Structure 1
Amino acid sequence: MRIVYWSDFNCPNSYIGLVRLKKATEELDLDVEWEMKPFELYPTLFDEPINSITTQNIIKYGITPEDAKAKIEETEKIALNDGIKINYKDIQLTSSRNAHRLVRYVQKKHSDISQDLIFKIFEANFIDNRIIADTDTLVEIATSLGLDENEIRNILESDSYDFEVLIEEEDAIAMGVDAIPLYFLNISEEQLVVPGAFEKEDFKIAIVDLINGEIGSKSYL
């Protein structure tokens, strides 16, 4: 099975959805080839934290501070129900571009550890509240998986894979992608597009339907 998904390291639903989907594929004992595609939620952010996620939610959704706080707390509760103890309210919100560049490189050169890298970046951002735009942070994550420090530092300190990230984000916009996470589940010639962070059991149902050729009578869009 091949799963291609658009996601961002600043999106809690992308993290939650990926955890759920991974558990679903494991419980179904599926051999999966994964590929993450970039879709920056905050493409204008810089490499240093500029304000809180509460402020960002107020600006982005046009809601009150109280509603923004409640939205963040609800997201934390949803994650906890899936066994993920995130600290969303204290996230140090920075650009995710460097993280996406690193993922593009690792998926191309070291694909066997790419999903481990992706989960570690999510954990660094949402659990440890580290600055994922920081080169040293990303180098530390990559070297913990056995990658060469100089190799990774050279990638991050240059503009390597920046063009690839931009092109893939433009491709997503051209396809009409306007929200993440978005999953493309592929088995043989069959494909199912799943928008959003489905519950684990719903992911399993969708996958089984795809495997059994029963998706024609159902819609997950």
Structure 2
Amino acid sequence: MKILYLSDFNCPYSFIGLKRVKNACDELNLDVEWDMKSFELEPNAKDIPAIDSFAIKNNLSVNDAVNEIEKIEEIARNEGLDINYKDMTLYSSKDAHRLVKYVQEKYSDISLDLVFKIFESNFSKNENISNPDVLVKIAVSCGLDGEEIMEFLKRNSLKIEVDLDMDEAISNGITTIPYYFLEYNDERLIVPGVFEKEFFKIALEDLMSGEMKNKTFI
């Protein structure tokens, strides 16, 4: 099984959705190759309060934005994710995406662990994921060499690849995330958005059994 997913580290639904997909795969005992594609929601973000950004994007008052964010936090907690979205500050996720691409290419077996830890750093610890020191600390916690990662981050390597991911998605009509491409043998099932874990399990089971050809629920 291969799962290609379009996500961003500034998107709470990307965090929640990935957790649900991962749990579904674990419950089905699936051996999965994970491939993250970048879709930056805040490419120029620098020290922007998440509440302000959420309010502007959704045309809400600050109080209404807080209420909606608290609902998202509750959804996350129900998935076992301890997030503090309302106190979060948004920063560019570009370097985090670059790091994920680097690790996926060289150390693919730990790439998913790295992705989850970057999400946790951003949403749970409210750290600045555009800070190289923060990204190095996360990489080291995954067993990677800190000096190697810092040297990589100092370069602009894979920046174009990060930008191309989003360009390709938009050219294919994808304007929102998360987005999941479930691939098994020569079949592909596309799941747009965050669904419940049980739905992902059904989708995965149908894909493997061939039943997806008779289903139109996605």
Give your verdict on TM over 0.5. yes
Q: Find out whether 1:28 has 2:28 as its counterpart.
A: yes
CA distance in 2, matches of 1:94, 1:13: 17
Q: Find out whether 1:197 has 2:194 as its counterpart.
A: yes
Q: Which residue of 2 aligns with 1:39?
A: 39
CA distance in 1, matches of 2:67, 2:27: 33
Q: 1:25-70, CA deviations, whole angstroms, 9 ceiling, x for partnerless residues? A: 0100111000000000112213xx1x31111011111112222111
CA distance in 1, matches of 2:217, 2:71: 24
Q: Give the total of aligned pairs.
A: 218
Q: Find out whether 1:128 has 2:125 as its counterpart.
A: yes
2:167 pairs with one of 167, 170, 174: 170
Q: CA deviation at 1:212?
A: 1.2
Partners of 1:117 and 1:145 within 8 A in 2: yes
Instruction: Name structure 2 gaps, 5 residues minimum.
Output: none
Q: Which residue of 2 aligns with 1:14?
A: 14
Partners of 1:10 and 1:93 within 8 A in 2: yes
Helix, strand or coil for the counterpart of 2:175? coil
CA distance in 1, matches of 2:61, 2:89: 21
CA RMSD of aligned residues (A): 1.0
Partners of 1:195 and 1:220 within 8 A in 2: no
Write the letter of the residue equivalent to 1:39.
F
Q: Which residue of 2 aligns with 1:216?
A: 213
Partners of 1:194 and 1:220 within 8 A in 2: no
Q: CA deviation at 1:217?
A: 2.7
**TM-score (norm. length: structure 2):** 0.97
Task: Spell out structure 1 runs of 4+ moving beyond 4 A.
Answer: none
Instruction: Name structure 1 gaps, 5 residues minimum.
Output: none
Helix, strand or coil for the counterpart of 1:84? coil
What's the % identity of the aligned pairs? 52
- Structure 1 residues 40-189: aligned runs within 5 Å: 40-46=40-46, 49=47, 51-189=48-186
